[in-house]
Homo-oligomer: A and B are copies of this chain.
Amino acid sequence: MSTNKQVIIIGAGFAGLKAARTLANKSVDVLLVDRNNYHTFTPLLYQVATCGLDPSSVAYPIRHIFKNAPNVRFLMGDVQAIDTDEQNVVIQTNANGTITETYDYLFIAAGSKVNYFGNESIQNNSFALRDLNDSITLRNHILRLFEKAAWTEDDTLRESLMTFVVVGGGPTGLETAGALYELYNNVLDAEYDKNDNMQANVILLEAMDDLLAPYPENLRDSAKKQLQSIGVDVRTGAFVEEVGTDFVKLNDSTVINTHTVVWSAGVQGNTLAEMLNIELERGNQIPIKETMEVIGLENVFAAGDIAYLIEPKTGKPYPGMIPVAQQQGTLAAKNILHDMNGESYETFSYFDRGIMATIGRRRAVAWVFNKIPVTGFLAWIAWLGLHLLVLMGMRNRAQVFLNWVWNYLFYSRSVKIIFEGEKRKPETVKTSEPETA
Contact = CB atoms under 8 A, between A and B. Distances in A.
Contacts of A272: 434, 436
Contact of A429 (B137, B414, B429): B137
B398 A433 contact: no
A264 to B, nearest CB: 13
A351 interface: no
A123 interface: yes
Nearest to A69: B194
Contacts of A67: 190-191
A235 interface: no
A interface, how many residues as a size bin?
A: 35 or more
B191 A429 contact: no
A118 to B, nearest CB: 12
Contacts of A402: 395, 398-399, 402
A70 interface: yes
A152 B415 contact: no
A243 to B, nearest CB: 11
Contacts of A59: 417, 419
Contact of A414 (B56, B75, B131, B151): B56
A341 interface: no
Contact of A417 (B56, B123, B426): B56
A249 interface: no
Interface stretch (A140-148, A201-209, A290-298, A360-368): A140-148
Nearest to A111: B433
A133 B434 contact: no
Contact of A271 (B399, B415, B435): B435
Interface stretch (A12-20, A94-102, A162-170): A94-102
Contacts of A96: 147-148, 151-152
Given A61-B191, A274-B436, A406-B398, A137 B418 contact: no
Interface string A115-127: 0100000011101
Interface string A78-116: 111000000000000111100100000000000001101
Nearest to A191: B63
21 contacts: A35-B434, A38-B417, A38-B418, A54-B54, A54-B56, A55-B419, A56-B414, A61-B417, A93-B147, A96-B147, A124-B430, A127-B426, A128-B429, A130-B432, A134-B429, A134-B432, A137-B422, A270-B434, A272-B434, A399-B403, A420-B422
